[in-house]
């Protein structure tokens, strides 16, 4: 996801993309490690996405 979109996005959208990428990565890591902490990290990345989304809109 990040490879395809990073070059085309504005800085604000790039942050959103980073957050989504981080969330997806944490979920992938959970699949291999089965460590619940990875899911919490994914949730944190999604909350950061919402925070950045809010900052774009304001």
Partner 1 sequence: MGKPGQSKGVTIKINGEEKVFADKKIESQEAASEEQEQEHTDESFEWILPEDSNENKIVLVPSPPKKKMPKLIGFGTGSLKSSDKRPIKTFMIAVICAVFFGSILGLIAVKTITKEKAEVSSVETPIPTEATVEDKKAAVTEPGNQLKTFLVQGGVFSSEDAARQIQKKIIEKQVPAEIFKMEDSYYLFLGSAESLAASKELALFLKSYDVDVYWKEINFEAAGTSQEDEKTLDKMKTVYASLAETSATKLRGKAGTVNEEALKKTWMN
Q: How far is the CB of 24 from partner 1 (least distance, A)?
A: 6
Residues of this chain, 31-50, that bind partner 1 according to CB under 8 A: 36-37, 39-44, 46-50
d(CA 43, CA 25): 12
Least CB distance from residue 4 to partner 1, whole Å? 6
Tell me, what DSSP letter sits at residue 9?
Answer: S
Question: How far is the CA of 35 from the CAs of 1, 2, 4, 20, 30, in angstroms?
Answer: 23, 24, 28, 19, 6
Residues that bind partner 1 (CB under 8 A): 1, 4-5, 9-10, 13, 16-17, 20, 23-24, 26-27, 30, 36-37, 39-44, 46-51, 53-54, 56-58
């Amino acid at each position: 996801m990040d490879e395809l979109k990073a070059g085309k996005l504005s800085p604000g959208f790039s942050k959103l993309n980073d957050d989504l990428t981080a969330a997806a990565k944490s979920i992938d890591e959970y699949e291999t490690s089965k460590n619940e902490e990875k899911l919490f990290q994914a949730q944190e990345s999604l909350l950061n996405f919402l925070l950045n989304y809010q900052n774009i809109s304001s």
